[in-house]
Amino acid sequence: MTTTPCPGCGLILAERLAPPPPEHGASPACFALYGRALEHQSRRFAQPPAGRLLLDAYGAQHPMDGGRMARDNLAVHLIALHLALVRHVPAESMPSTLRRVLRGRRDFPELPRPVPLGVLTVASMFGPNGAPIDELEAQAEAARAWASAVWAAWSDSHGLVARWVRDSGVFNEDD
Ligand SMILES: [Zn+2]
């Protein structure tokens, strides 16, 4: 069996013969596993307590190379991680808060890419039996741990992301 490491998260999985995902710097096998995690979350939990954490953890862990769209996508994922993990914006108000912070802002700068991109991967959303974590609290906790690991890997950019959020004026300065 041929195995390949994911260029984003480093996860080593059995090679999957499929085109690489268009919007992520990920291996096809890693992207398929992510698809399973997302699919399970939306099928299992009407209101996933983790909100968009899976989306942002995966996006920030699998940035595309170059280009304005790639830079903007990454910036949005990092801003969302900052809002969830630093500002503790609850999942239900995340979409509106993120929209207000971004307010159509685009053209973010290129960020130095950390290596490695976090000590946890999408594999942590699955139990030892290979099935997706099915219990609500445990699922939320796993998502949070994974997202925190990815966020921690981007520590060199924390100050810049905090400034983008501060400059949006959505939060009071003395928060
Ligand atoms: Zn990956």
Query: How confident is residue 173, by pLDDT bands cut at 50, 70 and 90?
Result: low
Cα of 173 vs centre of ligand 1, distance in Å, is 36
Mean pLDDT (the chain) is: 93
d(CA 108, CA 60): 14
Q: Tell how far the Cα of 24 is from the centroid of ligand 1, in angstroms.
A: 9
What pLDDT shows up at residue 47? Answer: 81
Q: How far is the CA of 105 from the centre of ligand 1 (A)?
A: 28
- Tell me the two tokens of residue 169: 């004026």
Tell me the CA–centroid distance for residue 126 and ligand 1, in Å. Answer: 14
* 156 pLDDT tier (thresholds 50, 70, 90): very high
Q: How far is the CA of 138 from the centre of ligand 1 (A)?
A: 21
pLDDT of residue 155: 98
Q: How far is the CA of 104 from the centre of ligand 1 (A)?
A: 29
User: What is the residue whose two structure tokens read 């690489």?
Assistant: 20
Torsion of CA 39, 40, 44, 45, to 10 degrees: -70
Q: Is the pLDDT of residue 174 over 60?
A: no
User: Model confidence over 46-105: pLDDT tens digits?
Assistant: 888 788 999 999 999 999 988 999 999 999 999 999 999 999 999 999 999 999 999 978
The rounded Å distance from CA 62 to ligand 1 centre is 6
- Cα-to-centroid distance, 96 and ligand 1 (Å): 28
Q: Give CA separation, 45 vs 136, 137, 152, in Å.
A: 7, 11, 27
CA of 157 to the centre of ligand 1 (A): 21
Q: Reply yes or no on whether the pLDDT at 20 is more than 60.
A: yes
Helix 53-61 vs helix 28-44: angle between axes, to the nearest 10 degrees?
170
